[in-house]
Structure formats: structure tokens, C-alpha cells
């Protein structure tokens, strides 16, 4: 049975190299880097002090309901802005498609609330320089801002997007680290192919430039501490990744919805694939191979039909050889790039 054709009709990037479709395209053409000194907090005492921040981002310009900002972490602010840009780019306005037929499937990273939200409850549990865990459920909770937990729930990004665009159809959040957004796109496709929606806002958001996250990443030793702050995925002298923040939304919709709205598709989604290594023989490489083959099989194409591969490219000594070996096995000879690194 032939699967329904699905098309991307709008894209909304909020990224370190630009905010909005036109700004990002210009930055790519000019080969700009989004990496620079951290400005979101004082990182002077840490070994790594550069990141890919979204510069010039003003959340107050991205939502009409200013009260919403009080319960939005930066991840949600970036996500809502990207959804609004995608809607504008794809000529979608709330109500132009029946709200019950518009869904949201969004990917979310680990969310850290503002450091100042954690200070009062921690101080309430301190005495004579010692933190008392037994007081957290009483004194700590009593000193916690009641709505602060709403900021760090992963599903709040999709919730705020639904409110902003009046999307009353299926709503789901994929919370799976760095593959959250790609898995969200795959699930959005399944929602459409099941006939549960005509249009789905999908993508992902993550803001990893916070004191909590940055200290954790520095301790893990996965960040590049090079003076030029340039990651080098797959290069022999690679020494780690450069973390940052961004959000990208896209409008994914059925062929019938595209025709009814009279919009021009940007791209067609042919297939997706996912796999998990677990403890199976072969480890991560075997899982990557299965995922790539699954995507090709669903798309109904052979590897030699590909024009290029956008790799993950961690730029670490441990991870890159695994990904390179999987690509060499399934898509040999196809050009590979890793722009996110």
C-alpha cells in the first residue's frame, strides 16, 4: 500500500548564525560561525568559555502573551519563536487549517531553569555551611516559586507552541537527548500517515548554555578547549564538541493539505529510521547501520541515489570512528558533512 506523501512547507530556525530563514541562509552563504565567548553567564572560572549562543534574541518580541514568559525556560522561548517563524514562512495562520487537525510533535533536550530559581530553596536547607537533605521536602519546597517546575518540564515547549498556534490536534514530546528533534519528525510523519492530523508543527529546541549544564559538560571532558573554538568532526586532531543552543521548527503536512492551502512545498519527507544499540552484539555501529537502512527502505531508494549525508559529527575521538564506520558500510562514497559541529 502506497504511503501518503508528506511535505515540508515552512521552516523556522532560531540559531547561533541567524534568526529566521533568510538570516540563516545568508550566514551559511557567507560561511559565518556561530561560536563565540559565553555571554549568558560568567564562565571566567571554567576551562571552556566559548559556546554557540543565539545572539540578539528578545523573547518579548516572540509572544503576544507576555505572562507566558514567566513560565518559559529559554528552551521554550526559542521553540515558540521558531514555530512562529515556521508558520510565517509556510503561510500558516491559526484557523487556516481546522485547529483539531493541527498537531505538535516536538523534541526537547534536558531543560535547566534559571539558576536564581534554585537559590531560595537551597538556602532554606542550609545551616552552618551544611546542606540538609532531610529539609528539602519541607523547607526547600516552601521556598520554591510555585510555577518554577513548569519551566523545566520537557513537554512545556510543545504546550506553548500549541497555545501560540491554536493547535488542538495530537500533541507529543520526544525527550531523547541529541536525537529528540529527528525522532520528533519521524513521529510527526506517523501521526500524519495514521490520519490523525493534516499538518504537524515539528522540530526541536535545546539551550545547553547554562551554569548547571556547562559545569557538567566540563567535568565530562567532552568539550573542545581549543583557543580557536572550532570543532573538527572526523579530523585526526579533533578534541571535542562545542555546545550551544538553538531551535528549529518545520511545518510537515499531507499532500492534500498542501493542495488545499495552495502553498509551495520546500521538500518531501521520504523515509525515517531509528534503532537502539542496547546490549546487542555490534554496539552503536550496528544500531546506526540498522537506522540508516531502515530510512532507505522506507524511502524506497538505494544508497547511491543520495546526494549527500549530514552526519552527527560529535568531533570526539571515541564517537566519530563509530559513525564513520557505519556510514562507510551503508552509504560508501557519498559526500558527508557535519554542519552542526
Last residue of a domain, one of 216, 234, 269: 269
For residue 142, tell me if it sits in a domain.
Answer: no
Let me know whether 258 and 278 are in one domain: no
Residues 161, 213, single domain; the answer is: yes
- pLDDT for 113: 82
For residue range 246-297, what is the model confidence (pLDDT) as tens digits?
Answer: 999 999 999 999 999 999 999 999 999 999 987 655 579 999 999 999 999 9
Q: What confidence score (pLDDT) does residue 227 get? A: 65
Task: Give the pLDDT confidence score for residue 225 in this predicted structure.
Answer: 81
Which residue from 228, 226, 254, 252 is spatially nearest to 239, judged by alpha carbons?
226
Residues 279 and 258 in one domain: no
- Is the domain of 340 the same as that of 230? no
Domain boundary among 252, 269, 286: 269
Count Cβ atoms below 10 Å from residue 340 Cβ, excluding itself. 18
145, part of any domain: no
- What are the cell numbers at 221? 571532558
Report pLDDT for 296: 98
pTM over 0.85: yes
Q: Can you give the pLDDT at residue 341?
A: 58
**Residue ranges making up the domain that contains 56:** 6-111+153-269
Same domain (yes/no): 200, 218? yes
Q: For residue 156, what pLDDT is reported?
A: 96
Same domain? 289 vs 193: no
The cell for 204 is 526541536
Query: Are 327 and 261 found together in one domain?
Result: no
**Average pLDDT score over the chain:** 93
Residue at 135 is within a domain? no
Judge whether 132 and 122 are in contact, CB under 8 Å.
Answer: no
User: Is 137 contained in some domain?
Assistant: no
User: Residues 109-118, buried b or exposed e (16+ Cβ, 10 A)?
Assistant: bbbbbbeebb
Asked whether residue 258 falls in the same domain as residue 290, the answer is no
Q: Answer yes or no: is 143 within a domain.
A: no
147 located within any domain: no
Answer yes or no: do 26 and 97 share one domain: yes
- Look at residue 149 in the predicted model and tell me its pLDDT: 86
How many domains is the chain built from? 2
Q: Look up the CATH number of the domain holding residue 288.
A: 3.40.47.10
DSSP-derived 3-state class of residue 66: helix
pLDDT tens, residue by residue, 14-40: 999 999 999 999 999 999 999 999 999
What's the confidence (pLDDT) of residue 58? 93
Question: Final residue of a domain: which of 212, 243, 269?
Answer: 269
Q: What was the pLDDT predicted at 144?
A: 92
Task: Report how far residue 19's alpha carbon sits from residue 245's, in angstroms, rounded to the nearest whole number.
Answer: 12
- For residues 145-170, one letter each, b for 16 or more C-beta atoms within 10 angstroms of the residue's C-beta and e for the rest, the string is beebebbbbbebbbbbbbebbebebb
Residue 127 lies in a domain: no
193 and 277 in a single domain? The answer is: no
pLDDT at 281: 53
Residues 6+ apart with CB under 8 A from 287: 275, 276, 277, 280
Packing angle of the helix pair 156-165, 74-89 (nearest 10 deg): 40
Residues 238 and 89 in one domain: yes
One domain for residues 221 and 323: no
In a domain, 116, yes or no: no
Residue spans of the chain under pLDDT 50: none
Amino acid at each position: 500500500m502506497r504511503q501518503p506523501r508528506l511535505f515540508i512547507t515552512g521552516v523556522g530556525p532560531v540559531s547561533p548564525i541567524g534568526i529566521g530563514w533568510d538570516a540563516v541562509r545568508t550566514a551559511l552563504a557567507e560561511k559565518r560561525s556561530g561560536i563565540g565567548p559565553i555571554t549568558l553567564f560568567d564562565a571566567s572560572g571554567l576551562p571552556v568559555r566559548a559556546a554557540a549562543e543565539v545572539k540578539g534574541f528578545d523573547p518579548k518580541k516572540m509572544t503576544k502573551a507576555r505572562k507566558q514568559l514567566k513560565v518559559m525556560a529559554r528552551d521554550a522561548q526559542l521553540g515558540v519563536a521558531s514555530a512562529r517563524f515556521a508558520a510565517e514562512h509556510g503561510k500558516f495562520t491559526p484557523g487556516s487549517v481546522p485547529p483539531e487537525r493541527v498537531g505538535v510533535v516536538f523534541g526537547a533536550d534536558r531543560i535547566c531553569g534559571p539558576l536564581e530559581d534554585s537559590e531560595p530553596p537551597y538556602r532554606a536547607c542550609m545551616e552552618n555551611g551544611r546542606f540538609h537533605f532531610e529539609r528539602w521536602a519541607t523547607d526547600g519546597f516552601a521556598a520554591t516559586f510555585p510555577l518554577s517546575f513548569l519551566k523545566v518540564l520537557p513537554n512545556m515547549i510543545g504546550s506553548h507552541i500549541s497555545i501560540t498556534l491554536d493547535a488542538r490536534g495530537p500533541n507529543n514530546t520526544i525527550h531523547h537527548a541529541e536525537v529528540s528533534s529527528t525522532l520528533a519528525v519521524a513521529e510527526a510523519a506517523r501521526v500524519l500517515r495514521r490520519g490523525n492530523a493534516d499538518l504537524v508543527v515539528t522540530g526541536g529546541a535545546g539551550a545547553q548554555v547554562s551554569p548547571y549544564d556547562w559545569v557538567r559538560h566540563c567535568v565530562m571532558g567532552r568539550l573542545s578547549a581549543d583557543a580557536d573554538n572550532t570543532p573538527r568532526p572526523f579530523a585526526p586532531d579533533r578534541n571535542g564538541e562545542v555546545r550551544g543552543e538553538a531551535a528549529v521548527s518545520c511545518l510537515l503536512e499531507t499532500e492534500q493539505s498542501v493542495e488545499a492551502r495552495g502553498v509551495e512545498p520546500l521538500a518531501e519527507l521520504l523515509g525515517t529510521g531509528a534503532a537502539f544499540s542496547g546490549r546487542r552484539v555490534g554496539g552503536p555501529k550496528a544500531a546506526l547501520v540498522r537506522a540508516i537502512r531502515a530510512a532507505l527502505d522506507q524511502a524506497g531508494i538505494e544508497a547511491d541515489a543520495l546526494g549527500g549525508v549530514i552526519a552527527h559529527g560529535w568531533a570526539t575521538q571515541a564517537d566519530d570512528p563509530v559513525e564513520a564506520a557505519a556510514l562507510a558500510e551503508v552509504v560508501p562514497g557519498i559526500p558527508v558533512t557535519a554542519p552542526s559541529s
